[in-house]
Structure 1
Amino acid sequence: MQTLTVVGHRGDPYRARENTLPSLRSAYAAGADAVEIDVRLTRDGVPVLLHDETLKRLWGHDRPLARLSATELRGLTGGGVPTLAQALAAAAGRRVLIDLPDAGPETVRTVVGAVHDCGAAEHVYYCAGASAMLRVREADPAAEIALTWSTSAPPRPALLEAVRPRWLNYRFGLLNRDLVARVHGDGLLVAAWTPDTKRSMRALLGLGVDAITTNRVETLAGLAPLTP
């Protein structure tokens, strides 16, 4: 029987604010096998959960995260933006997919180091584009990587050899049966993001993808034929 990894996109964002501890807990309770979180650094180098460069969309403050200390961030959000360490503790050994938007070398080194300091390396994996994933591979030769890929053309063999991903991570509209078969034929798993309708989820299941990241965890979990 086909297996599927159900991944909550930034937690369970239609039930709780994305990239917060309530959102993570809600996603796992709704049937997620893993939760995807976005991690950036504060001005003083603390890894925290935030997708955007600023607090404006989620927290109503037009303040760049990179200019805020962790203490200032707590004050502006009432402690609502968790640190990576808090998120990993809340995951309690369950799978976490760390997305590294716009991550430079310092961010990657700090995040990978924090994961190891928390004793979470065995249940964490990483996703982003090629440059960030090359840095993750350099920082942790054993890291599990989902290389985010934005075209149906295959990655260059030299890139695959350097990154050594376990997954190729595609926007769901790019996928078709031939592409999934080709990736599987290369010995890699196929991840898709971010379908939110039953129709698109069923279509991806029919293609044989291995993981789906969605904002509607409960809906996907109800459709998944078997989750690990």
Structure 2
Amino acid sequence: MNHQFPLITAHSGSMNTMDHTLHSVQTGLELGADVVEEDVRVTKDGIPVLAHDDEWTTVDSLKLFISQTTYEDLRELQFKFNQGEHRETVRICRLEEMLPLIQASGKVVNLDLKVDESIEPVAALVRQYGMSEQVFLSGCERDRAMLAQQSNPEMRKLLNTDTSLFRTLPYRKAMVQTFEDALAASCFGININHSIVRQELMDYAASLGLPIFVWTVNEVELMRQFADMGAASITTRNVAALVQLKQERLSERL
């Protein structure tokens, strides 16, 4: 089928950069990603920061929890960060440091919310920067999506698929439940682990007008597969390969 090529979403830490850093964000943008994905948590005093996990370890081997520590106490600390072959030290990065980069680029950011408490401060920053068209939320399974809809209905959001549904229910029943939850929470699409996706799901999504955002796809053959299936976005750490595939597809059409 002749689908439009998916949006290229740069996963945090793409191309062997460190997760949750401005370098990672800049790398994705410079390589030609349409969307940059980042995880968000909030400090004890409600400051949104880029982080997947709550627990971080300083270079002095002190364990801290973002949710239990104020940003003022975190801001000057250096943390150990082990990622693949990387052994680096990083500092906690505020969401507010990243948003101007996205704003200036004209691209879009996917903010993967890790806690309910992040909804309100994230929405406040988006309003402050006037970036409602450049930001959408993910990390929202049914309850968090409903909470976001109730408190900040103007924020665009994806429903994160509850993988346990697909482990415990027949595939079609889990699929239908997922889309019902998305519509109930006014989500504009579905964010889903690529291993769950079948053509049946893609066809059902198309019938409802809900785009499918697949994550995290790093192998070129899988990229081709999901592009052919009609995915609206492919999230990847291997941004360069997906950009190259897009260029190849465009050349084939000339």
Length-normalised TM-score, structure 1 = 0.89
Residue 16 in structure 1 maps to residue 38 in structure 2: no
Amino acid at match of 2:142: A
Equivalent in the alignment of 1:85: 96
Amino acid at match of 1:62: K
CA distance in 2, matches of 1:61, 1:118: 35
Larger radius of gyration: 2
Q: Provide Cα deviations, 1:162-195, integer angstroms capped at 9, x if missing partner.
A: 3111111110011121211111111100110001
Gaps of 5+ in 1: none
Equivalent in the alignment of 1:155: 177
Residue 178 in structure 1 maps to residue 191 in structure 2: no
Gaps of 5+ in 2: 80-89
Q: 1:55 to 1:30 in 2, by over 3 A?
A: same
Residue 220 in structure 1 maps to residue 233 in structure 2: no
Q: Is the 8 A contact 2:58 2:77 kept in 1?
A: no
Among 144, 149, 153, the residue aligned to 1:137 = 149
Aligned length: 223
Residue 97 in structure 1 maps to residue 128 in structure 2: no
Q: Is the 8 A contact 1:85 1:118 kept in 2?
A: no
Q: Is the 8 A contact 2:218 2:236 kept in 1?
A: yes
Amino acid at match of 1:113: A
Q: Is the 8 A contact 2:58 2:78 kept in 1?
A: no
Residue 115 in structure 1 maps to residue 126 in structure 2: yes
Q: Is the 8 A contact 2:11 2:38 kept in 1?
A: yes
Deviation at 1:61, TM superposition (A): 4.9
CA distance in 2, matches of 1:141, 1:59: 43
Q: Secondary structure at the match of 2:38?
A: strand
Q: Secondary structure at the match of 1:109?
A: helix
Equivalent in the alignment of 2:76: 75
Equivalent in the alignment of 1:26: 27
Amino acid at match of 1:145: K
Q: Is the 8 A contact 1:177 1:207 kept in 2?
A: yes
Q: Provide Cα deviations, 1:134-177, integer angstroms capped at 9, x if missing partner.
A: 12212222222111112352236653343111111110011121
**4+ residue runs of structure 1 moved beyond 6 angstroms?**
57-60
Q: Is the 8 A contact 1:125 1:145 kept in 2?
A: yes
Deviation at 1:209, TM superposition (A): 0.8
CA distance in 2, matches of 1:126, 1:54: 22
Percent identity reads 26
Amino acid at match of 1:133: A
Q: 1:136 to 1:214 in 2, by over 3 A?
A: same
